[in-house]
Amino acid sequence: MTTKPAFDFARFQRWRRPFEIGFWVVMMTVNTVFNGVVAWFDDSYRTHRAEGIEPWIWEASSSLVILALVPFVVMASRRWTLRFDNWRQNLKIHLALSVLFCLVHVGLMIVLRIIAYWVIKGWRYHFGNDWLRELGYEYLKDIRTYFLFLAIIGAYRLLILRLQGEASLLAEPDEGPPVEPVDRPERFLVRKLGKEFLVAAREIEWLQASGNYVNLRVRGRDYPLRATMAGIEERLDPARFVRVHRSYLVNLDYLVEIEPLDTGDARLTTRDGATLPCSRRFRAQLRERFGDAPIGA
């Protein structure tokens, strides 16, 4: 009798994007409601400094803009990942990006408030008499929000890697010669849910560049390897692995069809039916490897 795994990662992958979008929408909605109630109580109910609708306009306009900026933070976290080996350099970049995050947030927030005040109440919205002071106050909140989002994204990414599995090159032993050539690895070490196993290089179907990682496709699963595409290409057997796109390397043993496209590019099909792009630049080189013989014949 087989037991069903507690978490089906393959099934989660099909719903991963709706889950990620839904998470940010729900989180910002809950945050807006909570902050709106607090602002309404402080500014409208207790001190009578604002009309009852104003705190809700403030919080809703701020949350909408921040929600729209989430993809920007996600891309920044991928491009400049904070790690132990680069945190000093990338921290400076993120501090600069937090300033940009604040300027865009405040600018668009003011625009939304101007529109909302005019449409709902027929009033004119004033951001404040001292713009620098108000902007500094907003930045203190925005830098906290920016780095909180980085922490959430980083923690989520680590969780995904733990569930999905992460590949690495075999390390050189402390003593004695390595068991295989370091410059041409025959196997990769994969860690998944606390377990380790080896994957033969010849079993990799294709490789795809993804930010600071290269995804290794093995038996229908992707295992991210922290490397660059150019760096890993130099260490793979050129008789087996061929660059077909700036973001893809394919194992020729798993390639079954090359379909020319009108654009001059091509569409590749692998044994399991997956399709990969082949740019015009690499299409001719790929055809030369096989001459006029059909792939998979």
Percent of the chain at pLDDT above 90? 28
Tell me how far CA of residue 26 lies from CA of 21, 22, 64, in angstroms.
9, 6, 12
pLDDT (tens digit per residue) in 129-183: 788 888 898 999 999 999 999 999 999 988 887 777 888 776 655 454 444 555 5
Residues 6+ apart with CB under 8 A from 9: 163, 164
The CATH superfamily of 168-290 is LytTr DNA-binding domain (2.40.50.1020)
Residue 5 confidence (pLDDT): 52
Lowest mean pLDDT among 85-89, 196-200, 228-232: 85-89
Measured from the Cβ of residue 187, the count of other Cβ atoms closer than 10 Å reads 16
Residue 114 confidence (pLDDT): 92
pLDDT (tens digit per residue) in 28-67: 998 888 887 877 766 655 555 666 788 888 889 999 999 9
CA distance 286 to 267: 12
pLDDT (tens digit per residue) in 202-258: 899 999 988 778 888 988 888 888 888 888 888 888 888 999 998 999 999 999 888
CB 241 within 8 A of CB 205: no
**Which structure tokens are listed for 120?**
């709902």
Instruction: Indicate yes or no: pTM above 0.85.
Output: no
Residue 142 confidence (pLDDT): 94
Crossing angle of the two packed helices 131-164 and 54-79, in degrees rounded to 10: 50
Element (H, E) at 241: strand 241-245
Compute the average pLDDT of residues 80-84: 80
59 exposed, middle or buried (CB, 10 Å; 0-12, 13-18, 19+)? buried
Within its chain, how far is the Cα of 168 from the centroid? 19
pLDDT (tens digit per residue) in 92-129: 999 999 999 999 999 999 999 999 989 987 888 888 77
- The domain segmentation of the chain, as residue ranges, is 9-164, 168-290
Measured from the Cβ of residue 153, the count of other Cβ atoms closer than 10 Å reads 18
- Of 9 and 233, the one with more pLDDT: 233
Tell me how far CA of residue 99 lies from CA of 108, 141, 167, in angstroms.
14, 11, 35
Residue 247 per-residue DSSP state: T
Q: Report the half-sphere exposure of 14 (CA within 13 A, side-chain side).
A: 3
